[in-house]
Amino acid sequence: MSENVIQIENLTKQFKTKFGTLTAVDNVSFNIKRGENFGLVGESGSGKSTIGSMIVGTYGPTSGSITFQDDIDISRSSKQREPALKQQIQLVFQDPGGSLNPRKTIRQILSVPVELYAEKRLTTAEVEKRIKDILEQVGLPAHYLDKYPRAIGGGEKQLVCVARALAANPQFIVLDEPTSALDVSIQAKITNKLIELQRQNSLSYLFITHNLCLVRNMCDRLAVMYLGSICEYADTAEFFENPRHPYTQMLLASIPVLSDVEEELKPQKVKSVGEIPSPLNKPKGCPFNPRCPFKKDICTQEVPQMKEVSPGHYACCHCL
């Protein structure tokens, strides 16, 4: 069995806009191991969702490669991929209300992937049984099958979206901000369910979010993105104990927390200043240099290279 589910190398995605070329993802490399929950964190416009979209094949990259299970090249849009591959990689969106068809019942919504990805033609009874199994797995009662999405709560809608992704029997799921549209009390339930499902079905996740606290409690490893590039990537525990990049320190320091115990865990020395520049007009050199408190001359000249600061902990900064 292969070790990596997804391997990304020198991935770049550019969009042509009216105002010039927008580099949404700039020379990004990382890998996601089998059975791992990998967190991708960043503020808005940092390119994290673009990476997710390229993995599921909404569009192909401008350059660089994405490899699935060590030997299958998936660096192109899903239209040009093998049909069997589409089943393996599924996606859950941020807004559960907008990603379910309001005119279809939950049964109709779930039966599509079940029938589409079945190995042979299924009878109605078989489809029904499979749908009920999946619904039970995500923890929804069977009588929900005849409801329309509008009749159930936001958290339950998101569970239906997760069920729809599971119905394809995938290896790998991209979760694009799955809980940020939900209330805290419901978010907890969904994340715990996601962790449970991952164990049961030996899935791998790419968990895209802007909530660092959530990543702390959920992911095995994470990468932090800023303006299209990864600035730090490490094991979760190591990352939160010992953040090395000035941006990640600033990010951690600005989380509003709930207790003094957490307050002490935050890096103290870096204060948040400045704004995120437009990705259309990136600063020269290190993308973070206009906001960085440790800026040197070289930072405005050269783009820093990724360095291994301790085993498995990579950061991208001239000061390290």
Partner 1 sequence: MENKNNLALNIENLSVKYKVYEGTLEVIPGLSMHVEQAERVGLIGEAGCGKTTVLKSAAAVLHSPPAIVRKDAIEVCGVSVDGKKGVRSVRRNVSMIFQDPSSSLNPTLKISTQMTDILKSQFPGRKKAEYRQMMLDALDNVSMPAPERVLGSYPVQLSGGMRQRVCIAMALMKDTNLMLADEPTTALDVTIEEQILDLLDKLVREKKKSLVLVSHALGAIRKITDRVYVMYAGNVVEVGKTREVFEHPRHPYTIGLLAATPKLTGSGIADGIAGDIPSYINPPKGCRFASRCPRCTPECLEAPPVLESVDGREDWMVACHHAGEEAMA
- Which DSSP helix (H) or strand (E) runs through 23? strand 20-33
- Beta carbon nearer to partner 1, 109 or 218: 218
The answer to the question of residue 49 lying near partner 1 (CB under 8 A) is no
CB of 251 within 8 A of CB of 224? yes
CB of 194 within 8 A of CB of 162? yes
Interface pick for partner 1 out of 262, 293, 302, 312 (rule CB under 8 A): 262
- C-alpha pair distances (Å), 3 with each of 34, 70, 219, 267: 6, 8, 18, 34
Q: Over the Cα atoms of the chain, what is R_g? A: 21
- Rounded Cα distance between 24 and 228, Å, is 5
- Beta carbon nearer to partner 1, 218 or 317: 218
Least distance (Å) between residue 163 CB and partner 1: 18
- Only one of the segments 27-35, 50-58, 163-171, 262-270 lies at the binding site for partner 1 (rule: CB under 8 A); that segment is 262-270
The answer to the question of residue 151 lying near partner 1 (CB under 8 A) is no
- Beta carbon nearer to partner 1, 76 or 266: 266
Edge-to-edge, what's the strand order for the sheet holding 72-73? 20-33, 4-17, 63-68, 72-73
The answer to the question of residue 187 lying near partner 1 (CB under 8 A) is yes
The answer to the question of residue 44 lying near partner 1 (CB under 8 A) is yes
CA angle 207/208/213 to nearest 5° reads: 80
- Beta carbon nearer to partner 1, 73 or 241: 241
Amino acid identity for residue 286 in this structure: C
Residues in 190-229 at the binding interface with partner 1, rule: CB under 8 A: 191-192, 210-214, 216-218
The answer to the question of residue 159 lying near partner 1 (CB under 8 A) is no
Interface pick for partner 1 out of 123, 124, 185, 202 (rule CB under 8 A): 185
Q: What six digits make up the tokens of 160?
A: 């239906």
Give me the residues that bind partner 1 (CB under 8 A), please. 43-44, 153, 155, 183-189, 191-192, 210-214, 216-218, 236-237, 240, 250-259, 261-262, 265-266, 272-273, 275-276
